[in-house]
């Protein structure tokens, strides 16, 4: 149950900028909240998800508000219909593509982004080659090491070095709420799961799992930022598919280069 009134919610921020990227010249990077949009419940209010039962006109208006607010009104936008896989798209122009869970580019004024409502959004900025990526990592993408696949593809395409990368691991379901069954738990390293002895519930830590994958690729710890927020604990501010039993909106995590 949301604790904000509609009037109060309109005064709250539409987005948050990762502090890691806040002072990087020529870069736009942001993660939306659920505030400041026009969608009615259960999508209230800034639903940015195309694949929801919300009125498409509401989503269009919400996306316009979000993109304008972050200063990317003149940018093209590339995104994908996400399938919980590990395929990475080298995006060179605006469009909505099929079957990818990560996008990378070095094209200026091309915003790339992923939609989430519990899964992990990951934004990557390579300061050496001026290349970027946006990654959607659910549990399947996480155990499939999609963030490592993205960094590898960036190395091949742009000459990216992990030591030059700054990575934001965004707001998602937290390690106390992401309950999984034994068949899923078996796919995670034991250090990333914990079982409550009282309830028998096993949960996994998606943020830490993806951080460990970045560290293993050689990204310095000081260049990784992890969101302190949870889609479940902070459900007033973020959409959560699980907490809202599937009837909810979607956030966007986006990144774009202003110039080459």
Strand 110-116: give its sheet, edge to edge: 15-16, 27-32, 251-257, 110-116, 76-81, 95-98
Token digits for 114?
Answer: 């992923």
Cα dihedral 124, 128, 131, 136 in deg (nearest 10):
-20
**What single string gives the DSSP state of each residue in 118-148?**
SSEEEEEEETTTTEEEEEEE-HHHHHTTHHH
Query: At residue 133, does pLDDT exceed 90?
Result: yes
3-state secondary structure of 14: coil
Query: At residue 4, does pLDDT exceed 60?
Result: no
Query: At residue 84, does pLDDT exceed 50?
Result: yes
Burial 21-45 (b: 16+ CB within 10 A, else e): beeeeebbbbbbbbbbbbbeebbbb
Residue with tokens 């250090």: 191
Tell me the pLDDT tens digit for each residue of 183-212. 999 999 999 999 999 899 999 999 999 999
DSSP state for residue 172 in the 8-state scheme: B
Mean pLDDT of 231-242: 97
Residue 117 has what pLDDT?
98
Task: Answer yes or no: is 5 within a domain.
Answer: no
Domain residues for 108?
Answer: 19-257
Residue 155 has what pLDDT?
98
Task: Answer yes or no: is 14 within a domain.
Answer: no
Task: Answer yes or no: is 12 within a domain.
Answer: no
Task: Answer yes or no: is 8 within a domain.
Answer: no
Q: Report the 10 Å Cβ neighbour count for 70.
A: 21
**76, 118, 167 from 107: Cα distances, Å:** 10, 29, 19
Task: Answer yes or no: is 74 within a domain.
Answer: yes
Query: At residue 1, does pLDDT exceed 50?
Result: no
Query: At residue 85, does pLDDT exceed 90?
Result: yes
Task: Answer yes or no: is 10 within a domain.
Answer: no
Tell me the pLDDT tens digit for each residue of 13-69. 999 999 999 999 999 999 999 999 999 999 999 999 999 999 999 999 999 999 999
Task: Answer yes or no: is 219 within a domain.
Answer: yes
DSSP state for residue 192 in the 8-state scheme: G
| Residue 92 phi, psi dihedral angles, 5° rounding | -120, -10
Q: What percent of the chain has pLDDT over 90?
A: 94
CATH code, domain carrying 115: 3.60.140.10
CA distance 45 to 225: 27
CA distance 85 to 64: 28
Distance of CA 161 to the CA centre of its chain: 22
Task: Answer yes or no: is 240 within a domain.
Answer: yes
Residue 45 preceded by cis peptide, ω within 30: yes
| Residue 48 phi, psi dihedral angles, 5° rounding | -110, 10
pTM: 0.96
Count: domains in the chain: 1
Token digits for 187?
Answer: 């796919």
């Amino acid at each position: 149950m949301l604790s904000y009134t509609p009037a109060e919610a309109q005064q709250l921020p539409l987005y948050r900028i990762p502090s890691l990227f806040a002072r990087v010249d020529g870069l736009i990077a942001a993660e939306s909240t659920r505030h400041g949009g026009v969608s009615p419940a259960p999508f209230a209010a800034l639903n940015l998800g195309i694949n929801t039962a919300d009125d498409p006109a509401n989503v269009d208006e919400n996306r316009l508000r979000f993109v304008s607010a972050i200063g990317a009104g003149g940018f093209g936008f590339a995104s994908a219909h996400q399938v919980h896989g590990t395929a990475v798209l080298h995006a060179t122009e605006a469009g909505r593509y099929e079957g990818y869970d990560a996008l990378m580019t070095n094209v200026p004024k091309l915003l790339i982004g992923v939609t989430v409502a519990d899964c992990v959004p990951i934004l990557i900025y390579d300061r050496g080659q001026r290349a970027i990526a946006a990654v959607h990592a659910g549990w399947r993408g996480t155990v499939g090491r999609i963030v490592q696949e993205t960094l590898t593809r960036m190395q091949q395409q742009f000459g990216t070095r992990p030591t030059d990368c700054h990575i934001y691991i965004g707001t998602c379901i937290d390690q106390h709420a992401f309950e999984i069954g034994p068949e899923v738990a078996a796919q995670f390293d034991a250090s990333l799961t914990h079982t409550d002895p009282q309830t028998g519930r096993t949960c996994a830590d998606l943020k830490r799992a993806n951080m460990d994958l970045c560290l293993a690729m050689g990204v310095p710890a000081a260049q990784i930022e992890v969101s302190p927020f949870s889609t479940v604990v902070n459900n007033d501010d973020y959409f959560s598919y699980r907490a809202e039993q599937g009837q909810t909106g979607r956030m966007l995590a986006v990144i774009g280069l202003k110039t080459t």
